[in-house]
Amino acid sequence: MEPVTIGVLGASSFALAQTAPAIHAARGTRFAALATSSAAKAEPFRAFAPDIVVHRDYEAMLADSAIEAVYVPLPNHLHVEWTLKALAAGKHVLTEKPIAMTAPEIDGLIAARDRTGLFASEAYMIVHHPQWQRVRSLIDEGAIGRLRHVDTVFTFDLPDAGNIRNRAETGGGSIPDIGVYAYGSARYAARAEPVELTSRIRREHGVDVWTQVTGTMAGPTGEFSYGALTSTRLYPRQEVTFQGDDGLIRVTAPFNAGLVGEAQVHVVQGTTTRVERFPAVRQYVLEFENLAATLRTGAVFPWTLEDARGTQAMIDLVRANEV
């Protein structure tokens, strides 16, 4: 089976550190091209993938007939534009989260996907990790009884004002950058949607740097309370807890598994705690292997544009209900 040839649109530091090496390592994909106007930025990519073709602009990448799929790790405000352009150029496309700035924008992406018959989705890597798949199955099985409360924390300290995640014009802020995980992980694991949310938001230069959300969500077993804290101005911390009638599930290193610690699922029932560990799992590699399986065999990709729209709708709700 021929590997899927993938081009990376932009030489971002994130692509260099995480996703381009994952494309190179994944079974079924080949990191074939990079689009960047900077020869200096291309060199670190060539260090592990010396045969990549370097295009000097994004349009040249989309015009390259040797490229079957495009990965888009551009700043947030460019995601919709270049996803649409990739589809119009006949390329399958996987775009970093958040794929849009508002939920209605994703409707246009869904329409373009359906019109072209091409694959398009958001690169939401956590759903490819067996840690999160296990959490979802535990909740489905009733391992902790009826779900009553979900609590999520995702924080780190990023004071650099020049970073794109701290700039309003590039779609920065803790809500789009990490709220997408805090909110989307609860939706995914509990198969739930928000019912009512209230938020408190602190901003610097027009960008949210601290957001606390409280409210209720509803899933297959009914409503449960929900709380989330995201910040780009606090000491790093990641943890998600699902609390039920008969126990709780604690998820460690839930979003940057392997980077901030070992991915673990703690299942607490009475006085007993069972720890399930997931060492050495590379979630970005799994993401691109799943992309290859979808394009080559028709396997179901774990995250759709409709899933992304649901999380973006929750983000929109958080912003609309600030007190």
Answer yes or no: 97 catalytic. Answer: yes
pLDDT tens track for 219-258: 998 999 999 999 999 999 999 999 999 999 999 999 999 9
- CA nearest neighbour of 43 among 65, 19, 74, 20: 20
| Encoded tokens for 215 | 């409210």
Q: Which string of DSSP letters, residue by residue, matches 105-174?
A: HHHHHHHHHHHHT--EEEE-GGGGSHHHHHHHHHHHHTTTSSEEEEEEEEEEE---TTSGGG-GGGT-SH
Catalytic residue, candidates 41, 85, 91, 97: 97
Task: Collapse the DSSP code of 168 into the 3-class scheme (helix H, G, I; strand E, B; otherwise coil) and give the result.
Answer: helix
| Encoded tokens for 11 | 């030489």
Average pLDDT, the chain: 97
Is it the case that residue 1 has pLDDT exceeding 90?
no
CA distance 105 to 82: 13
> What is the structure's pLDDT at 9?
98
pLDDT tens track for 4-60: 999 999 999 999 999 999 999 999 999 999 999 999 999 999 999 999 999 999 999
Residue of 49 and 161 predicted with greater confidence? 49
Is it the case that residue 161 has pLDDT exceeding 90?
no
CA distance 296 to 276: 32
pTM of the prediction? 0.96
| Encoded tokens for 67 | 């490229």
> What is the structure's pLDDT at 199?
98
- Domains in the chain, please, with CATH? 4-124 (3.40.50.720), 130-280 (3.30.360.10)
CA distance 284 to 280: 12
Pairing, β 147-157 against β 222-231? parallel
Which residues contact residue 272 at a Cβ distance below 8 angstroms, ignoring those fewer than 6 apart? none
pLDDT tens track for 91-148: 999 999 999 999 999 999 999 999 999 999 999 999 999 999 999 999 999 999 999 9
